Amino acid sequence: MMDVRKKIITRAVLEIADGMNVNLGIGMPTLIANEIPANYNVLLQSENGLLGIGPYPVESEVDANLINAGKETVTAVDGSSYFDSAESFAMIRGGHIDLAILGGMEVSETGDLANWMIPGKMIKGMGGAMDLVNGAKKVVVVMEHVNKHGESKVKQACTLPLTGKNVVHRLITDLAVFDFTEDGMILSELQEGTTIKEVQEKTEASFTVSPQLMSNQQ
């Protein structure tokens, strides 16, 4: 599982450019914080009220009062700031977040995202995902390609409650990278060791293959 996540995270960090304001969702996306190049001036925003999240702390740096939206202890970079939830969501809804990288339970071929609840299971709340998918300038979803039963999480239509419709710009899995455009869902990259055939076999959604990727495979 860690190898799968490492593959996804390594690719996802390439979405971050120097100078960006970025929100990393709960779960796998939070691991990206430790992979951002040290020479990048990137401000990580958390919807619970922190702009300027640093890497996870070593034991001697742990401050129980300094946490991200997933209740994990974090560090803060020089120049970071703290604010209430109203200010935080004003940043998100005002279009000031350049990139949101979120986890996913399901993504559909039309870019719908389901990532906030499974019916019948206890949840603490929807968090900030519904605002992020509508307020961030770019939404990238990271998730394993199939679930623990081997079923595709890249669906024709989501079966779980939606976080947002037509909101995903890019999907990164352990097998591939997909882009969502006016022409539909496009397979644009393959993860190392993966073939187009394998992706087709493990993907319920309909998609086309980028001509550039196709030519590289021939």
User: Are the C-beta atoms of 100 and 87 separated by less than 8 Å?
Assistant: no
Q: How many CB atoms lie within 10 A of CB 206?
A: 10
E strands present in 47-150: 50-53, 76-82, 99-103, 106-108, 113-114, 139-142
Cα–Cα dist 140/145, whole Å: 14
Where helices occur in the chain by DSSP H, the ranges are 2-12, 85-93, 129-135, 196-201, 211-217
Q: Residue 212 has which token pair?
A: 């550039």
- Based on the residue annotation, tell me whether 47 is a catalytic residue of this protein: yes
User: Are the C-beta atoms of 27 and 115 separated by less than 8 Å?
Assistant: no
The 8-class DSSP code of residue 57 comes to P
Cα–Cα dist 136/171, whole Å: 15
Q: From the candidates 15, 47, 109, 144, give the one annotated as an active-site residue.
A: 47
Cα–Cα dist 182/107, whole Å: 16
The 8-class DSSP code of residue 66 comes to -
Residues noted as catalytic: 47
